[in-house]
Amino acid sequence: MKKRVVITGIGLVTPLGIGTEENWSKLVEGKSGVDFITSFDTTDFPIKIAGEAKGFVPENFINKKDARRYGRFMLLAVASSKIAISEAALDLETIDKERVGVSIGSGIGGLDVWEKNHTLFMEHGIRKLSPLFIPSSIVNNATGAVTIEFGFKGPNLGIVTACASGLHAIGEAYRILQYGDADIMFAGGTEASITPFGVAGFAKLKALSKRNHEPKKASRPFDKDRDGFVMGEGCGLLILEELEHALSRKANIYAEIVGYGMSGDAYHLTSPDETGDGAMRCMKAAINDAGIMPSGIDYINAHGTSTKYNDITEARSIKKLFGEHSHKLKISSTKSMTGHLMGATGSVEIGYTALSIKRGIIPPTINLDNPDDECDLDFVPNKAVVHKINYAMSNSFGFGGTNGSVVLKRYE
């Protein structure tokens, strides 16, 4: 018999702030974390805005030596794990660390480390290249940094599935716990790709909003006037626990994970299958795994990137799966406030969804002033709503046609 899995801790570092409460208060107020880029000079760049985690100071969470050695995406992961531990009141002295695992995803990893070392190599040759260049940039070492920091010796995974990485990392951790291979899993995603090379690459792809004159209005999912997504950075790490283990330590439970689905589009490297079939099959798989009917879902935290094709395709896939019930659903895109956190986005949004269930409030889709005619569902425009949620879903879809959905349930 599969074990039940619950969320007992949420560690967030995002453009909205550091920690669960700062994120939540700004989320329900409809505040945007998007602003002008401060980490490098954008004078020669067509894109000058992003969602930076401006309040993040690595030395507040890790010693100065490691702060210098680690890629920013690794530092974000360590910080988020410490926030989650504190928030979950998890006593590291009493748990069996061989039964604690870590599953962290990232779409890109240490892009800042690659850029810095490539410049040094081109200017000075191999003698200036850092010996830690490779280990401080590869994706699985976000997991490595967290396990070393706390001595966790259970399952150890690094997931790379583009913008679905964080969600898939949580889904795979959920499965590990279901089958009894661990008691606790730290799971989520981390990303720090707001660098000159990263911004330039997505700009050349023509994927980013050019609304430089109005940063806080640039991310506008499902709005007719959207012109691309806004890059974001940050990390969301959740503490997932086998239910009996959580109950034994009287843990606070935010929500229960009851369903996980995946699918592939097999369609295009960057664009979703315009019929919505891949996203629809993914959501259906998660709902089937949860053992409920589509009509049981009350709320969807949408992928909602603010790009022309994603928003229409996701709306189309929801209508395709839910039929008439799609018009009764509450749906919102929190990317309207955070920007798109790439590989971290799925885990941050699952954290937000768990908070929505626990607190009975659905965050809005801000900047939704002129809805796209093909996005004619209830996307909770501009203002949070009080709403009891029994079952909720969070979606993440990535380049290469990789899709993931997770279903959460109110814990009772």
Phi, psi of 321 (to 5 degrees): -85, -45
Question: pTM of the prediction?
Answer: 0.97
- Which residue among the candidates 327, 340, 375, 387 is catalytic per the annotation? 340
Work out the angle between the directed axes of helices 72-88 and 141-150 (0-180°, nearest 10): 40
- Max CA separation in the chain (angstroms): 64
Q: Which amino acid makes up residue 232?
A: G
Q: What is the pLDDT of residue 84?
A: 98
| Whole-number pLDDT of residue 270 | 87
282 in active site: no
User: For residue 317, what pLDDT is reported?
Assistant: 97
Domains of the chain: 5-248 (3.40.47.10), 262-409 (3.40.47.10)
340 is catalytic: yes
Which of 235, 245, 282, 303 does the annotation list as catalytic?
Answer: 303
Parts of the chain with a pLDDT under 70: none
Are residues 367 and 15 in contact, defined by beta-carbon separation less than 8 angstroms?
no
| Of residues 165, 219, 177, the one with CA closest to residue 347 | 165
**Helix (H) or strand (E) run with residue 258 in it:** strand 255-264
Of 302, 346, 363, 299, give the one whose Cα is nearest residue 25.
363
pLDDT score recorded for residue 215? 98
In sequence order, the β-bridge partners of residue 220 are: none
213 is catalytic: no
Question: What CA–CA distances, in Å, run from 197 to 182, 192, 202, 232, 257?
Answer: 39, 12, 9, 14, 37
Which pLDDT belongs to residue 210? Answer: 97
Question: In the numeric block, which tokens belong to residue 50?
Answer: 């992003």
**Active-site entry in 124, 163, 268, 325:** 163
| Residue with token string 């790709």 | 193
Q: Is the dihedral of CA 132, 133, 136, 139 positive or negative?
A: negative
Instruction: Please tell me the predicted confidence (pLDDT) of residue 1.
Output: 83
